[in-house]
Amino acid sequence: MMIIEVKDKSVDFRRANMMEICEAVYALASLVPIGRVTSYSSIGKVLGIHPRLVALCLKRNNNPVVIPCHRVVYASGRVGGYSRGGASTKIKLLELEGVHIDRKGRVPREVMIQLESLLYSDARRS
DNA sequence: ATTTGCTCAGCTC
DNA sequence: GAGCTGAGCAAAT
């Protein structure tokens, strides 16, 4: 599976083609449960690619239903963009899932997941 | 809180 | 090829 290869670093995603990168981005985005969010840079760190490429994948190849693109936000907590219906739609979707967005368009720190620390956490245990 | 510099695939010309 | 554009980020101010 793609994720295993990431942990082994046997695949350099910076040199992989866009399609493979996108697959991996979607897989990681799908890990984020309802009511939580992650950031573009968190996904980027795991795959070893620039955060902007993560955004590019989400924007381009967007499978509307299967992939929860709206759960990926700026590292700062700001919501960021959304090509289907704009940022306001993204905010609505998140509110629907129980993520409160403050007046300045930011999500609370507690709901943000750092995917890379999930990967390291069980390797470090032994 | 805001500005600045960095980044890189894809699109245009 | 060169130049511009983003669903971004971190550091400095």
The yes-or-no verdict on residue A108 having pLDDT over 60 is yes
Instruction: Give the model confidence (pLDDT) of A28-50 as tens digits.
Output: 999 999 999 999 999 999 998 99
Q: Which nucleotide is nearest to A51 (CA to C1')?
A: C8
User: Residues A3-25: pLDDT tens digits?
Assistant: 333 433 334 454 557 888 899 99
Structure-derived torsion over alpha carbons of residues A112, A115, A116, A120, reported in degrees to the nearest 10: 110
Q: Which nucleotide is nearest to A19 (CA to C1')?
A: B9
Chain A 52..81 CB hits on strand C (< 7 A):
52, 54-56, 58-59, 62, 69-70, 72, 74-76, 80-81
Would you call A103 helix, strand, or coil by DSSP?
A: coil
